[in-house]
């Protein structure tokens, strides 16, 4: 009986600590993220390797209320299921309102901002620039987040980040297939919520 109990504890422990990979979210990539996935040729979720894993505690954070974020970014941001968190990937657009339209003054640097609404805190999950950027966001659950984007090297290739709030980690994966390349630029439907010129 004791051996069975120890075995069960070991299995549960392994399950909790197992590193999830992009292929574990195939349902989401064939569903909500299908449009993003189809902007690449020969994209196979099994052909991603982990390149970096970071503890969320190591990331830059500051005390900041979501009330300080412009309404335009709240409209195109992505809230978690219970609305306690917001991801803003569009601060680099530097939107300026002119009448009913927003003018984008694109910055090369992109900061992925996580607002912990109840804690009045902002965390920079990822910083992109000339070498990489985030295209889309999907909350799989309240404690699991997918950030999908593109690396800009010799060719444009897919990049996936898995944010796990239970293990408090963010893990970045790059594609290993040389024939997997971006064939068209992705534009999120979330941007259609505003009239934006210059993107």
User: What pLDDT digit, counting tens, does each position of 90-113 carry?
Assistant: 999 999 988 889 999 988 889 999
For residue 101, report the phi and psi dihedrals to the nearest 5 degrees: -115, 150
Q: Average model confidence (pLDDT) for the chain?
A: 89
What does the alpha-carbon distance between residue 161 and residue 149 come to, in Å, rounded to a whole number? 8
Say if strands 101-103 and 196-197 run parallel, antiparallel, or are unpaired. parallel
Quote the number of domains for the chain: 1
Nearest to 126 by CA among 137, 116, 112: 112
pLDDT single digits (tens) 2-60: 555 444 444 444 444 567 999 999 999 999 999 999 999 999 999 999 999 999 999 99
Q: What is the pTM of this model?
A: 0.87
Q: Within a domain: residue 6?
A: no
| Residue 32 lies in domain | 25-197
Q: Within a domain: residue 94?
A: yes
What does the alpha-carbon distance between residue 180 and residue 58 come to, in Å, rounded to a whole number? 32
Q: Within a domain: residue 17?
A: no
Nearest to 187 by CA among 115, 89, 105: 89
């Amino acid at each position: 009986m004791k051996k069975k109990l120890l075995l069960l504890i070991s299995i549960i422990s392994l399950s909790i600590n197992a590193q999830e990979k992009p292929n574990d979210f195939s349902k989401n990539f064939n569903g909500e993220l299908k449009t993003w996935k189809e902007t690449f040729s020969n994209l196979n979720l099994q052909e991603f390797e982990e390149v970096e894993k970071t503890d969320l505690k190591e990331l830059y954070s500051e005390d900041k209320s979501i009330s300080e974020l412009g309404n335009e970014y709240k409209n195109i941001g992505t809230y978690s299921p219970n609305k306690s968190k917001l991801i803003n990937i569009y601060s680099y657009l530097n939107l300026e309102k002119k009448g009913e339209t927003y003018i984008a003054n694109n910055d090369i640097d992109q900061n992925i901002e996580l607002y912990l609404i109840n804690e009045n805190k902002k965390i920079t999950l990822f910083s992109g620039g000339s070498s990489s950027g985030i295209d889309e966001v999907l909350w799989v659950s309240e404690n699991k987040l997918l950030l999908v984007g593109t690396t800009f090297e010799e060719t444009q290739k897919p990049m996936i980040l898995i944010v796990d709030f239970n293990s408090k980690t963010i893990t970045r994966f790059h594609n290993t297939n040389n024939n997997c390349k971006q064939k068209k630029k992705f534009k999120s439907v979330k941007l259609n919520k505003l009239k934006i010129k210059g993107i």
